[in-house]
Chains A and B, each alone.
Chain A
């Protein structure tokens, strides 16, 4: 998120841009913005318990980058911004800013553990192609 000047779709962290202030995001009725797997809920819950801050939420965002054009990012955030959509899943809450949401609408967030490592992954119906490891995608 650090080089957001070159990423018009980097989301709400760009406060110096010329974009008009986004309105609070409302979803069409019956839409599921994000599906969160049990493995992801349980892992985020464990990580949050470790952090010890009840205000933390999992922020899911999309930035420019990676070999397929866009890249997913995950971070803990205790601040909800105006254009954020809050998604409740089990005992955890996720935040997605409006610009990122258009790229991940309907996607499934999972947590995978294997010999290579452990990571959050997104299965995204909007992605036309993805990088080998799934951290980058194109639309």
Chain B
């Protein structure tokens, strides 16, 4: 079980971490909300906790807690520009349905 990022997403994560000035990587978590049942949550991580699993992809550190991991395992995080907006996109093989914007999903 693991997650990965595309080169574009890695570049964006590095940029965000540089701007912030501290942090070891990006935490990817799942919370129960959104119109499709689950929603992704991204945040900076200062350091891994005892419940985290760490993955390295394209030179960036990704942290996922053990509860979230089964729902996002195999996910590739991409950075896409859609029209005038840009943001992270979750290509999650576990998701059976996605909300219009991709923030929420069902399993």
A interface list, Cβ under 8 A from B = 47, 58, 65-68, 71, 73-76, 115-120, 131-136
Contact = CB atoms under 8 A, between A and B. Distances in A.
Contacts of B34: 131-132
Given A67-B99, A115-B16, A117-B88, A74 B35 contact: no
A26 to B, nearest CB: 28
Given A74-B83, A115-B16, A118-B86, A132 B101 contact: yes
B87 interface: yes
B103 A74 contact: no
A33 B34 CA distance: 30
A115 B26 CA distance: 10
Contacts of B53: none
B4 interface: no
Question: Could you say which interface size class chain B belongs to?
Answer: 20 to 34
B67 to A, nearest CB: 20
A58 B83 CA distance: 12
A28 to B, nearest CB: 30
Interface in B32-50: 33-36, 39, 42-44
Nearest to A71: B100
Contacts of B1: none
A41 to B, nearest CB: 14
Contacts of A117: 79, 85-88
Given A73-B83, A115-B16, A115-B44, A133 B88 contact: no
Given A66-B100, A67-B100, A132 B39 contact: yes
A109 to B, nearest CB: 11
Given A115-B16, A115-B44, A135 B83 contact: no
Interface in B56-107: 79, 83-88, 99-104
